[in-house]
Structure 1
Amino acid sequence: MKPAHAPADHLAIPPKKTGILIANLGTPDGYDYWSMRRYLNEFLSDRRVIDYPAWKWQPLLQGIILTKRPFTSGRNYKLIWNEERNESPLMTITRSQAEALRARATAEWGDSVMVDFCMRYGNPSTQDVLDRMVKAGCQRIVFLPLYPQYAGATSGTANDQLFRALMAQKWQPAVRTCEPYFDRPDYIAALAASVRRTLGDRVPAKLVASYHGMPKRYLLEGDPYHCQCQKTSRLLKEALGWPEGVIDTTFQSVFGPEEWLRPYTVEHVAELAKRGITDIAVISPAFASDCIETLEEINGEIRESFEHAGGKDFAYIPCLNDDPGHVDVMLNVIRDTMGGWVPVRNAAPSQDADRALRPQDQDRQADRAGDQPPL
Structure 2
Amino acid sequence: MTNASIRPGDGRLAHAPADHPAVKPARIGVLFANLGTPDATDYWSMRRYLNEFLSDKRVIDIPNWKWQPLLQLIILSKRPFTSGANYRLIWNNEANESPLMTITRQQVAKLRAAAEANWGEAVQVEFCMRYGNPSTRSVVERMVADGCEKILFFPLYPHYAGATSATANDAFFKALMRIKRQPAARVVAEYFDRPSYIDALAQSVERAYAGLAARPDVLVASYHGMPQRYLTEGDPYHCQCQKTSRLLRERLGWAAGSIDTSFQSVFGREEWLKPYTVKHVAALAREGKKNIAVISPAFAADCIETLEEINGEILHAFEAAGGESFTYIPCLNDDAAHIAALMEVVTENLTGWLG
Q: TM-score range by the shorter chain?
A: over 0.9
Structure 2 counterparts to residues 227-238 of structure 1, below 5 A:
227-238=239-250
Task: Specify every segment of 5 or more residues in structure 1 that has no aligned partner in the other structure, as ranges.
Answer: 344-375
Match of 1:278 in 2: 290
Q: State the superposition RMSD in angstroms.
A: 0.8
Opposite residue 22 of structure 1, the aligned amino acid is F
Determine helix, strand or coil for the equivalent of 1:245: coil
Out of 263, 278, 281, the residue aligned to residue 269 of structure 1 is 281
Q: Using the TM superposition, give the Cα deviation of residue 71 of structure 1 relative to its aligned residue in structure 2, in angstroms.
A: 0.4
Structure 2 counterparts to residues 107-126 of structure 1, below 5 A:
107-126=117-136
Determine helix, strand or coil for the equivalent of 2:263: strand
Matched, 1:172 2:175: no
Task: Specify every segment of 5 or more residues in structure 2 that has no aligned partner in the other structure, as ranges.
Answer: 1-10
Structure 2 counterparts to residues 1-375 of structure 1, below 5 A:
1-200=11-210, 203-343=215-355
Q: C-alpha distance in 2, partners of 1:293/1:120?
A: 16
**1:76-105 CA distances to partner (integer Å, 9 max, x unpaired)?**
000000000000000000011000000000
Opposite residue 343 of structure 2, the aligned amino acid is L
Q: C-alpha distance in 1, partners of 2:218/2:266?
A: 22
Q: Using the TM superposition, give the Cα deviation of residue 127 of structure 1 relative to its aligned residue in structure 2, in angstroms.
A: 0.7
Q: Using the TM superposition, give the Cα deviation of residue 241 of structure 1 relative to its aligned residue in structure 2, in angstroms.
A: 0.4
Q: Using the TM superposition, give the Cα deviation of residue 200 of structure 1 relative to its aligned residue in structure 2, in angstroms.
A: 1.3
Q: C-alpha distance in 2, partners of 1:210/1:157?
A: 22
Question: Which TM-score applies when normalising by structure 1?
Answer: 0.90
Determine helix, strand or coil for the equivalent of 2:261: strand
Q: C-alpha distance in 2, partners of 1:77/1:128?
A: 25
Q: C-alpha distance in 1, partners of 2:342/2:21?
A: 35
Q: Using the TM superposition, give the Cα deviation of residue 6 of structure 1 relative to its aligned residue in structure 2, in angstroms.
A: 1.3
Determine helix, strand or coil for the equivalent of 1:129: helix
Q: Using the TM superposition, give the Cα deviation of residue 203 of structure 1 relative to its aligned residue in structure 2, in angstroms.
A: 4.1
Q: C-alpha distance in 2, partners of 1:221/1:167?
A: 28
Q: C-alpha distance in 2, partners of 1:214/1:338?
A: 32
Q: C-alpha distance in 1, partners of 2:96/2:313?
A: 24
Determine helix, strand or coil for the equivalent of 1:254: coil
User: Which deviates more from structure 2 when the two are superposed, residues 172-181 or residues 194-203?
Assistant: 194-203
Q: Using the TM superposition, give the Cα deviation of residue 9 of structure 1 relative to its aligned residue in structure 2, in angstroms.
A: 2.4
Match of 1:356 in 2: none
Identity over aligned residues, as a percent? 68
Opposite residue 301 of structure 1, the aligned amino acid is E
Opposite residue 161 of structure 1, the aligned amino acid is A
Determine helix, strand or coil for the equivalent of 2:21: coil
